[in-house]
Amino acid sequence: MKRRPYREKTPHVAATAVDLFCGAGGLTHGLLDAGINVATGYDIDPDCEYAYEHNNRGAKFKNQSVADLTSTTLEALYPAGHIRILVGCAPCQPFSKYTQGQALEKKNDWPLLNHFARLIKTADIDIVSMENVPELQRHDIFLDFLDTLTHAGFHFTTEPEKQVVYCPDYGLAQHRSRLVLVASRLGPIELIPPTHTPAKHRNVADVLRKLPTLAAGEICPADPLHRASRLSPTNLRRIRHSTPGGTWRDWPPGLVAKCHKKKTGKTYPAVYGRMEWDKPSPTITTQFFGFGNGRFGHPEQDRAISLREGAILQSFPRRYQFVKPGGTCSFATIGRMVGNAVPVRLGEVVGKSISRHLTHCE
């Protein structure tokens, strides 16, 4: 493939991004916040279309698999003369530590990262950013992805520790580590330095303390997304015996679930717990709205965190809308959109890193 010659240096470098596996738009929104134009997002989940287009000015949602995207179609999305940026987060379940022993069994999503690499090989792209779980580094498919970038003439850091980001170092109030790779054919590129020292890490209180109080099963009249799932009478008693940062081991014996009394269950303390006001939250998963699915209990109210609170911990703005007015706020659907999203703040960090790089390349 013949590459375009680089444009001559100008006072301002125009650039446009396309977001693969865009979901509800977390990465796209962060790029826009950083001043990076985004033309299009691709995803196979039609439930994401409204959230993506409504909240991300000018970006269009394509309900299409990346496996069916051709280099010709991709290149046509970029305005003439713009630096071409390709970003994305291929589904990470096959590599995640949360799938544990099932990871090697579920291979249907593995080729998606290869399709990302295919487009890098065949399309004329200038800058690439890929986000995923750190466990991906241990797999050959990641090394193959790096080989694709190298052979296509991209610059990127090869130091594994520099490829992994601890999100609180960049202002996210969530214990979350992510693999974030930025690569450029224009010259060396790295992420911007951390913006928050450990002493300045944001915590749950910083982002959730001011939200209206809710009971389990209640919906906030002013914000339909600020809704909490119901609790059974047993789980209501359990959460009342739960302390911030504690586990089910704090409960009276009569409330401990049978599965946790077994030898195999005693090694899973990080469920049925409350968050702590003065610390970042645990990693937000697609099941964050369920009290029994992790340490997702509210620090002091007797309920799991709401859909809105989960979105805020993923750094979505409080105004971010996931369904049309009057639409159904399904816990499973919105939980999936929020939990699978690239945190908006992390997308902004990627965008600022690219902007800094382009300034140095002018």
Measured distance CA(171)–CA(129) in Å, rounded: 20
Backbone angles phi and psi of 17, in degrees to 5: -115, 155
Pull the structure tokens for residue 228: 């909490």
| Annotated active-site residue in 89, 92, 167, 329 | 92
CATH topology of domain 204-339: DNA Methylase; Chain A, domain 2 (3.90.120)
Residue among 1, 4, 15 nearest 353 (CA): 15
CATH architecture, domain 15-196+342-361: 3-Layer(aba) Sandwich (3.40)
Residue pLDDT tens, the chain, 362 long: 666 554 444 346 799 999 999 999 999 999 999 999 999 999 999 999 999 999 999 999 999 999 999 999 999 999 999 999 999 998 865 554 544 444 444 445 567 899 999 999 999 999 999 999 999 999 999 999 999 999 999 999 999 999 999 999 999 999 999 999 999 999 999 999 999 999 999 999 999 999 999 999 999 999 999 999 999 999 999 999 999 998 888 898 889 887 776 655 445 566 789 999 999 999 999 999 999 998 999 999 999 999 999 999 999 999 999 999 999 999 999 999 999 999 999 999 999 999 999 998 76
Whole-angstrom CA distances from 246 to 74, 209, 238, 240, 297 are: 49, 19, 12, 12, 10
Block residue for tokens 């800058």: 127
Q: Where are the domains of the chain?
A: 15-196+342-361, 204-339
Residue 220 falls in the annotated catalytic set: no
89, 129 contact by CB (below 8 A): no
On whether the pTM is more than 0.85, the answer is yes
